[in-house]
Amino acid sequence: MKQTKKLKFNIPDYALFALEKMKEKGFEAYIVGGCTRDLFMSKEPSDWDIATNARPEQTQAVFKFQNIKTFYENDFGTVGVVFPENNVVEITTYRSESTYSDYRHPDKVVWSRHIEEDLKRRDFTINAIAISPLGKEEFEIIDLFFGLKDIKNKVIRTVGKPEERFSEDFLRMMRAVRFENTLGKGWKIEENTEKAIIKYSYLLEKSSKERIRDELIKIIMSENAAQGIETLRKTGLLSHIMPELEKGFGVKQNKHHVYDCYRHNLECLNYAAKKGLDSHVRMAALLHDIGKPTTKKGTGENATFYNHEMVGAKMAEKMLNRLKFPKKDIDKIVNLVRYHLFYYNVDEVGESSVRRLVRKAGIENMEDLLQLRMADRIGSGCPKAEPYKLRHLKYMIEKVSQDPISVKMLKINGNDIMQILKTEPGPKIGQLLDILLEEVLKNPKNNTKKHLTDKLMELSKLKDKDLLKLTQKAKKEIDKIETKQDQMTKERYWVT
């Protein structure tokens, strides 16, 4: 259905310029895909995609003429056009659907002459609308599959028969779930589309793990992440992505929990997503208890799950490797799962235990670990008040990670002093070091070999009695500074 409509769309000048230049040279050019959908939903598109009947070389020629940089480094006919401030418009030659005999990539890309054919190969009606500006606030709209109606009703429906369209590319099933949960409130997968997903869910295994991973990340990063995972489970897709997670479904916990293992993991993810926490914490929240089903001993309210964090960390590592997550992300997530159970109680757990936790889990991961712990508590369904304890632990972490105040901080040591003053070892060396330490604590700029040597020469002229007095005064000062520093750290975390 072709129509012309007056519409107020906010399209940046560089995208309008790209459309205009293509048309000036006699080519067709339409804004398509996710950005058209976003415009009709009054959302700001994240990137600008244009479809054209020009071949990639012809598109490049149009912009070469304008002295605008382009790149073309793929097999899909997409030319990137680079405008100032790194604004990129992607211009892709019309394509028609081709066969996917490996279910991963189209066998070959077939160019097409008609926008209609290009729209027909797209996954969902809402992603298959093309628009092109005609004049001021006037647009040509091509909406062959009633995508506008589906946007209005918030329906995700395949272009054409769902079973056929999923058979061409099974990843589309997961994309349907992704769109349902990331487009906003009230979106639903259309009934026949959903039935086909349920029927073919087991065939998701044929899709490449990298593509599955990318869709999974989009679901996890959305505000409705937990709902998205639940839709994956209900449609049967989850057991072909993360069977380890699904295993916890219906596995009851004990008196500390309201939910089963699976639901608890989801509730934690829900907290992390609503709080806008980063991807590592979200993923760790979702996976933190996957070791529970296999380590469960006993039943009822006294069931135990000894070592589930270690077993879970191993399982998470295997799963994330299988899904081709980058190594550095795997390391971070696995580490959080491994240490999520740390025990902490004010006055009960001492500095050495905190120091051990920091050493094992890494100081750079402490903030994430504390956030995961918060998610774990809230996600249990019967959260005990813990903010004070966590603040106190933060204080302890900072305390044990600060450089201790000690003569080791000085740019001069006992041996240097013996050499400079040509003396033997003895209590005097320690006294001198204490006085120098006070000198440096009062003003860190004093911590140079030269300044300390000069000071040392001065001190060496003093009588033993006076030196001792100075040492005692210095020790008191050092003590005061230590107490003050600790007080400041405490105040920062509102703990006493």
Amino acid of residue 281: V
Taking CB positions, which residue lies at the least distance from ligand ATP?
Answer: 34
In the complex with ligand ATP, which residue's Cβ is closer, 41 or 82?
41
Cβ at position 207, least distance to ligand ATP in Å: 9
Subset of 30-69 contacting Mg ion (CB under 5 A): 34
Point out which span in 28-36, 67-75, 101-109, 233-241 binds Mg ion (CB under 5 A): 28-36
Nearer to Mg ion, 34 or 160 (CB): 34
User: How do beta strands 95-96 and 110-111 pair?
Assistant: antiparallel
Residue of minimal CB distance from Mg ion?
34
Pull the structure tokens for residue 280. Answer: 């590592």
- Which candidate, 77, 7, 10, places its Cα nearest to that of 45? 10
Minimum CB distance to Mg ion, residue 90 (Å) = 9
- Helices 171-182 and 209-220: crossing angle in degrees, nearest 10, is 10
**Binding flag, residue 362, Mg ion (CB under 5 A):** no
- Beta bridge partner(s), residue 29: 52
Q: Which residues are paired to 135 by β-bridges?
A: 138
Which of 493, 239, 275, 486 has its CA nearest to residue 377?
A: 275
Tokens representing residue 438 in the block: 């006070």
Q: Which run of H or of E encompasses 9? A: none
Smallest distance from the beta carbon of 103 to Mg ion, in angstroms?
22
Q: Which partner, ligand ATP, Mg ion, none, binds residue 127 by CB below 5 to 8 Å per kind?
A: ligand ATP
Chain residues in the site for ligand ATP (CB under 6 A): 33-34, 46, 122-123, 127-128, 169, 171-172
80 binds Mg ion, rule: CB under 5 A: no
CB 215 within 8 Å of CB 221: no
To Mg ion, the closest distance from the beta carbon of 86 in angstroms equals 17
The residue written with tokens 């120098």 in the block is 436
Q: Which does 123 bind (CB under 5 to 8 A by kind): ligand ATP, Mg ion, none?
A: ligand ATP
Rounded to the nearest whole angstrom, what is the least distance from the CB of residue 45 to Mg ion in the complex?
A: 8
Minimum Å gap between C-beta 137 and Mg ion is: 25
Instruction: State the pairing for strand pair 87-93/95-96.
Output: unpaired
Q: Which does residue 172 touch among ligand ATP, Mg ion, none (CB within 5 to 8 A, set by kind)?
A: ligand ATP
Which segment (27-35, 127-135, 213-221, 275-283) binds Mg ion by CB under 5 A?
A: 27-35
Given ligand ATP, Mg ion, none, residue 248, with its beta carbon under 5 to 8 Å by kind, binds: none
Tokens matching residue 354: 């905190």
CB closer to Mg ion out of 50 and 370: 50
Would you say 109 and 76 are in contact if contact means Cβ atoms under 8 Å apart? yes
**Shortest Cβ 216–ligand ATP spacing (Å):** 13
State the DSSP string of 111-178.
E-S-HHHHHHTSSBGGG--EEEEEETTEEEEE-TT-HHHHHHHTEE-BSS-HHHHHHH-THHHHHHHH
Q: Which is nearer to Mg ion, 129 or 369 (CB)?
A: 129
In angstroms, what is the minimal distance from the CB of 191 to Mg ion? 26
Which residues 6+ apart lie within 8 Å of 219 measured at CB? Answer: 177, 178, 181, 182, 225, 228, 229, 232
DSSP 79: E
Nearer to ligand ATP, 12 or 34 (CB): 34
Specify the pairing of strand 155-156 against strand 130-135: unpaired
Nearest CB to Mg ion, comparing residues 122 and 264:
122
Measured from the CB atom, the residue of 31 and 251 that comes closer to ligand ATP is 31
Residue 89 CB, nearest approach to Mg ion (Å): 13
Strands 87-93 and 48-52: parallel
Whether 388 contacts 395, CB under 8 Å: no
Nearer of residues 123 and 230 to ligand ATP, judged by Cβ: 123
Nearer to ligand ATP, 116 or 477 (CB): 116
Q: Return the percent helix, strand and coil in the chain, to nearest 5.
A: 55, 10, 35
Tell me, residue by residue from 378 to 417, as one string, x for binding to Mg ion by CB under 5 A and - for no binding: ----------------------------------------
CA separation for the pair 421, 460 (Å, rounded): 8
Q: Which is nearer to ligand ATP, 41 or 418 (CB)?
A: 41
Q: How many residues bind Mg ion (CB under 5 A)?
A: 1
CB of residue 34 to Mg ion, shortest distance in Å: 4
CB of 126 to ligand ATP, least distance (A): 8
Nearer to ligand ATP, 209 or 411 (CB): 209
Give residues in contact with Mg ion (CB under 5 A): 34
